[in-house]
Amino acid sequence: MLVNQFNIKVFEIEIEDEKSFLDFIEKNSVILSSYLLSLRGNISTTIEKSLERYSLAYIKNMPIKKRSGVAAQFTKSSTIKIIDTIVRSGQEIEYDGDILCLKRVNSGAKIKCNGNFIALESVDALIECNGEFMLLAIGKSANIYFNGVNITENLDDKKLYSVKLEKDEILIY
């Protein structure tokens, strides 16, 4: 017996209107060629021929069991504020949930959140995070508070840190 295990990326698509679906397939066939399509709804012979023409792999009307994991709980149970601009000196941002900064946070800015904090670029600001974790890289003028504790002196600039709160203890990785 030969057994192989694969991890497969799947797009689950519910077909409500044949024309819209065929337009979607035509526009996205290159991207979709790397995925298994799980199709729900009325799959006509026209749809099947279109899928075959683009050599797309698919299954029909087969329910996919969704995992209930942390990622699903994170997106459903918490509110996240996404900041997609540079946070400039003098700006103050206060938010009750989680914050995700996609751009740099400059010196002189202040961010306070009662949820988790993630910064994808360097942080040179005052950050107050009262959540369960932080993920950030700091610059030379950063001032970082995690659950009321100044942890700045434990962080070097230019390194990405994961900071967690476990059993009332702050862990820095």
Mean pLDDT, the chain, rounded, equals 87
Cα separation, 135 vs 62, whole angstroms: 38
Class of domain 71-172 as given by CATH: mainly beta
Q: What is the mean pLDDT of residues 55-66?
A: 82
Amino acid at 53: R
The pLDDT, as a whole number, for residue 76 is: 40
Cα separation, 16 vs 26, whole angstroms: 16
The pLDDT, as a whole number, for residue 125 is: 96
The tokens 């729900």 sit on which residue?
40
Cα separation, 93 vs 153, whole angstroms: 23
The pLDDT, as a whole number, for residue 78 is: 55
Q: Indicate if the pLDDT at residue 162 is higher than 50.
A: yes
* Whole-prediction pTM: 0.56
The pLDDT, as a whole number, for residue 77 is: 45
Of the candidates 98, 104, 117, 106, the one whose C-alpha atom is nearest the C-alpha of residue 141 is 106
Least confident of 58-67, 100-109, 159-168: 58-67
The pLDDT, as a whole number, for residue 115 is: 93
